[in-house]
Amino acid sequence: MYLEFSTDFHDTDLALERLVLLLAPQGMASFLQLEIGPYLRERAKQRFRDEGDDVTGDWAPLQEATINIRESQNIPGEHPINRRHGGLENWVVDGGWNAYPAGFGGALRYPAHEPSGKTREKAITAQSGSVSPASVPRPVLGVNEKDLIFVATALAFSIHEAFQ
């Protein structure tokens, strides 16, 4: 009995080429830009809508003095928290993101740019609180294990797709 095996490595070579492209710095930057940036934006949007989340905890209620100031400016009193004129929320949710090749992989900056002026002051106060005027932290930026699981799963799915 004589057996002959013929193997075509074309599909394997193609899959490996796709994998190399995905894991190269430019490929990782593209992955971060297309998959992770939108995910972080949605998380931030939900954080503002829900006034906190599993990353930041529920945001502390506003102090009575803050409520009075807001109402005197024709802004709703108790809610929404961390939103008076929308600058901070716009920076976090609509400020975009910047993914780029870095070393042997990619990096992502979210939001894309440092805030400036009043938005910078508001971001620092939201993240850390303030001594004067007294304010507790109500963080608007952050990630946790849930986000790490999303990134790992999305990357695993992209690797799987490279082999299809």
User: pLDDT tens-digit profile of 62-118?
Assistant: 999 888 999 999 888 889 998 888 999 999 999 999 999 999 999 999 999 999 999
For residue 96, the one-letter residue type is: G
Mean pLDDT estimate for the chain: 92
What does the pLDDT read at residue 6?
Answer: 67
| Tokens representing residue 20 in the block | 């190399």
Q: Is the pTM of this model over 0.75?
A: yes
CA atoms of 83 and 62, how far apart (whole Å): 11
Indicate the pLDDT class of residue 11, thresholds 50, 70 and 90. confident
What does the pLDDT read at residue 7?
Answer: 65
